Structure 1
Amino acid sequence: MRRRELLGGLGMATAGAALGKRAVQAQELSTLLPPRLRSGDVVGIVSPAGATFERDRLDLVVDAVTALGFTPRVAPHALARYGYLAGTDTERAADVNAMFADPAVKALLPVRGDWGSARILPYLDYDLIRANPKVVIGFSDISALLLGLYARTGLVTFHGPHGITAWRADQVEPLRQILVEGAALTYRNPLLGADQDRLMRDQGRIHTIAPGRASGPLLGGNLSVVSGIVGSPYMPDTTGAILFLEDVGEPPYSIDRMLTQLKLAGVLDGLAGFVFGQCTACGPGSGYGSLTLADILHDHIRPLGIPAYAGAWIGHVEPIWTLPMGGVVTMDAAEGTLAMETAAVT
């Protein structure tokens, strides 16, 4: 019994020290905006996560960066492979560090997501990164990199397209306005397909969990990825934040489990607002008596007493919005909108 008490005390002390370190870190770091992009700027193409098995996938990214008016620079290990990863952890991290160290490079664009970004977080040079702020953009597994950079440096990153997404006009134009022009945009779900000619909206509907407006730094990303870094020094303090989450291919019980993890870890405590995006292919399947996604969100989010809505056009859908991770936004849970308060670049 005495040994259990001692170990329990040590565990609480260790947890307290870790939380204290995060709190001090959050207080010491000021928000850091990257410089805006200009025509001809060099964009570093990196692979911090999953391997790119076909050369033509990388060529597509090079073509996209060129078509956007920038100059592509491919990282040395962009086509490396260590199993399902794009090289070893140290190789992938070295590419990211090198891009931040190169004064000619103004932005980092990952080829793809899949899995692996969290594995490189201990190997990044955060002092170097903070001294050389640059645009970093991506989604899905890249959420870990975006959150880790913000947590450790205060750098505003961008939850948006990665290299092999579709670079259509409705995706390119908002990205250009935010990263090149320094615009502060307001986002609402687009009208899609047949909905453009209908009296009512069928796709992209929002569900207001609790009405109201709230402002705060926007943080979040893929739920599976976010839940995987909870408790680490790479998970930002979410107090006062607007938390957004999305996922793909997860059954309802899995969504429930991960939201429960966030709840038990205190991530949901002190939020200013909550937004759930799209959960593509997240239906209950043939399971009998399954809770629905709406049930799960109602159970976990409504008791928080904060403005909240679900169905935002965020996730593994197109067009992919470019959202400032760490930038201040105002959400309206009844209207289903996210509005940037200021420019996210200098």
Structure 2
Amino acid sequence: MLSRRTLLKSALLAPLVRQWPAEARPLPLPLQKPPRLKPGDTVGLFCPAAPAYSREQVQITIESLQALGLKARLAPHFYDRYGYLAGRDADRAADLNAFFADPSIHALMAMHGGWGCARLLPLLNYEQMRRTPKILIGYSDITALLLAINAKAGLATMHGPEGAATWNRFTVDWLRRVLMDGEATLFQNPTDKGDTLTQTRDRITTLNPGIARGRLLGGNLTVLSHLIGTPYVPDWKGAILFLEDVHEEPYSVDRMLTQLKLAGVLDQVAGVVFGKCTKCETEGSYGSLTLEDVLATYLEPLKVPAFSGAMIGHIVDKFTIPLGINAEIDATKGTIRLLEAAVA
């Protein structure tokens, strides 16, 4: 039995608890687009989460950027190590802040994901980022930075390859089209059948047909769901929500989509794109729901256009998807069309 004092205390605090997420959410800022990348520009490589374990991989990244006509510079604390983190929080945040303030740096690319970006959010200089907008690109744990900087600085950020990505033709082509050519491009999965009678790889699954327009917002499902209720997420109303993940069994995806549902995120969006959930099927769990079951459970009742299978996630061939940019999705065709350039 609860005491009368406990019940009264709960009753008094309940309105405050209900109001906190809404009060904490920042008011939307006018969108700032970063300048596009040009030959000769310098990309700052930094490690906001996991350490840079392989110097050979770093050299491959530098040479890949050079092959694009760009220069690369490593952050001062690039090779730091503090357990599973790439150095202390203050030093990792200082690297990010310094790159935004440095006029000789034109874009910032995370070397790795892992874990640790959310620890930096209270330490970032969002006012500086708004004054000196630059391309910020990465995926996975970098989702925390992409969402927070979009919300707190009003900057269009880029969900795309990290330094340790596979710099193949597919990934580089989309990066170039979005960040260098400034195309209002149409993202569409490959349709190559190989030597099979019908396409078996990179297929699109339509959950709810139709066309929707809105600001692209999203990223890694695990990271995004853990930021809900903080001041570091944007306004979801009318957005096109895109999601991806890796090594999460269906029950984990279920749990995180439940969080987005209970927090009211899913009920606000105009459409949903679920990219790739790599290695997310259950292994030997009797009677488990499949990933397809889970997505259908949460996305079909929304009655907004939704599809899965887009080239977004922990995959070799990936799109570069800008956050905060207006886009149109066709859930029947499985396409995402930018309605404006992502860069200035």
Question: Normalising by the residue count of structure 1, what TM-score does the alignment of the two structures yield?
Answer: 0.95
Q: Percent identity?
A: 48
Tell me if structure 2 keeps the 8 A contact 1:48–1:110.
Answer: yes
* Structure 1 CA distance for aligned equivalents of residues 49 and 63 of structure 2: 21
* Structure 1 CA distance for aligned equivalents of residues 9 and 215 of structure 2: 39
Residue identity in the other structure for 2:52 = T
Match for residue 34 of structure 1? 34
Residue identity in the other structure for 1:246 = E
After TM superposition, where is structure 1 displaced by more than 6 Å over at least 4 residues in a row? none
Residue identity in the other structure for 2:144 = A
Tell me if structure 1 keeps the 8 A contact 2:178–2:184.
Answer: yes
Match for residue 257 of structure 1? 255
Alpha-carbon offset, residue 233 of structure 1: 0.7
Match for residue 182 of structure 1? 182
Match for residue 74 of structure 1? 74
* Structure 2 CA distance for aligned equivalents of residues 340 and 196 of structure 1: 29
What pairs with 1:175-254 in structure 2 (closer than 5 Å)? 175-191=175-191, 195-254=193-252
Residue identity in the other structure for 1:12 = P
Residue identity in the other structure for 2:221 = L
Tell me if structure 1 keeps the 8 A contact 2:275–2:310.
Answer: yes
Could you give the per-residue CA deviations for residues 130-163 of structure 1, whole angstroms, max 9, x where no partner exists? 1110000111111111011001111001110000
Match for residue 6 of structure 1? 9
Alpha-carbon offset, residue 7 of structure 1: 3.6
Match for residue 274 of structure 2? 276
* Structure 2 CA distance for aligned equivalents of residues 243 and 164 of structure 1: 25
Tell me if structure 1 keeps the 8 A contact 2:135–2:158.
Answer: yes
Tell me if structure 2 keeps the 8 A contact 1:143–1:226.
Answer: yes
1:8 to 1:40, Cα distance in 2 relative to 1, 3 A: farther
* Structure 1 CA distance for aligned equivalents of residues 309 and 302 of structure 2: 18
What pairs with 1:157-176 in structure 2 (closer than 5 Å)? 157-176=157-176
Gaps of 5+ in 1: none
* 1:341 and 2:339 aligned: yes
Q: Equivalent residue of 2:212, what SS?
A: strand
What's the RMSD between the two structures over aligned residues? Answer: 1.4
Residue identity in the other structure for 2:190 = P
Match for residue 137 of structure 1? 137
Alpha-carbon offset, residue 11 of structure 1: 4.4
Alpha-carbon offset, residue 89 of structure 1: 0.8
* Structure 1 CA distance for aligned equivalents of residues 30 and 210 of structure 2: 28
Tell me if structure 2 keeps the 8 A contact 1:55–1:79.
Answer: no
Tell me if structure 1 keeps the 8 A contact 2:209–2:330.
Answer: yes
Alpha-carbon offset, residue 9 of structure 1: 3.0
Match for residue 47 of structure 2? 47
Tell me if structure 2 keeps the 8 A contact 1:227–1:258.
Answer: yes
Q: Equivalent residue of 2:245, what SS?
A: strand
Alpha-carbon offset, residue 17 of structure 1: 4.2
* Structure 2 CA distance for aligned equivalents of residues 45 and 322 of structure 1: 17
Question: Normalising by the residue count of structure 2, what TM-score does the alignment of the two structures yield?
Answer: 0.96
Residue identity in the other structure for 2:321 = L
Could you give the per-residue CA deviations for residues 83-118 of structure 1, whole angstroms, max 9, x where no partner exists? 010001111000000000101111001111111111
Gaps of 5+ in 2: none
Could you give the per-residue CA deviations for residues 202-243 of structure 1, whole angstroms, max 9, x where no partner exists? 111111111110000011111111111111111111110000
* Structure 1 CA distance for aligned equivalents of residues 207 and 179 of structure 2: 32
Match for residue 152 of structure 1? 152
Q: Equivalent residue of 1:128, what SS?
A: helix
Alpha-carbon offset, residue 259 of structure 1: 0.6
* Structure 1 CA distance for aligned equivalents of residues 8 and 59 of structure 2: 59
Match for residue 20 of structure 1? 23
* 1:304 and 2:302 aligned: yes
Alpha-carbon offset, residue 267 of structure 1: 1.3
Could you give the per-residue CA deviations for residues 272-318 of structure 1, whole angstroms, max 9, x where no partner exists? 00111111111111011101111111111111111111111211112
Residue identity in the other structure for 2:53 = F
Match for residue 318 of structure 2? 320
Q: Equivalent residue of 1:26, what SS?
A: coil
Could you give the per-residue CA deviations for residues 163-219 of structure 1, whole angstroms, max 9, x where no partner exists? 011111221122112111111111111135xx2344411111111111110000011
Q: Equivalent residue of 1:247, what SS?
A: strand
Residue identity in the other structure for 2:160 = G
* Structure 2 CA distance for aligned equivalents of residues 70 and 190 of structure 1: 28
* Structure 2 CA distance for aligned equivalents of residues 101 and 212 of structure 1: 43
Could you give the per-residue CA deviations for residues 54-98 of structure 1, whole angstroms, max 9, x where no partner exists? 322222222222222111111011110010100011110000000
* Structure 1 CA distance for aligned equivalents of residues 268 and 50 of structure 2: 34
Could you give the per-residue CA deviations for residues 16-39 of structure 1, whole angstroms, max 9, x where no partner exists? 1441342xx334x11110011110
